[in-house]
Amino acid sequence: MDLKIITPTGSALEGFYEKISFHTPQGMVEILEDHASFVCEISSGPAYFTQGEVSEFLFISDGFAKVLDNKVTLIVHETHQYEMDRP
């Protein structure tokens, strides 16, 4: 799926991923290919983007998400690099 993360200062991330996960007020959402179309609120927290065996992590602030035709757009106030400890 195509992913685009947009902030007030411009595009923060663009890429193609098999799985996209982020937090909403109702809990974690995981988007896979051919997911139903929807719009939802995003809660601040880590977002995960996976392509094959490689995952990327980015902290995103509150905002909104749109999923339509295998394109995911996250509109957020800001993003930060997110470091995770790995064993």
pLDDT of 32 above 70: yes
Going by pLDDT thresholds of 50, 70 and 90, the confidence category of residue 85 is low
Domain boundaries, given as residue ranges, for the chain: 2-81
What element of type H or E holds 66?
strand 63-68
- The residue count of the chain comes to 87
Residue 64 has a pLDDT of: 98
| pLDDT at residue 84 greater than cutoff 60 | no
Mean pLDDT across the stretch 42-59? Answer: 93
pLDDT score, position 87? 47
Contact present, 4 and 75 (Cβ < 8 Å): no
Domain 2-81: assigned CATH number: 2.60.15.10
| Mean pLDDT calculated for residue range 77-83 | 83
pLDDT bucket at 81, cuts 50 / 70 / 90: confident
Which residue in 17, 13, 20 sits closest to 1, CA to CA? 17
Q: Mean of the pLDDT values across residues 42-62?
A: 93
Element (H, E) at 54: strand 54-60
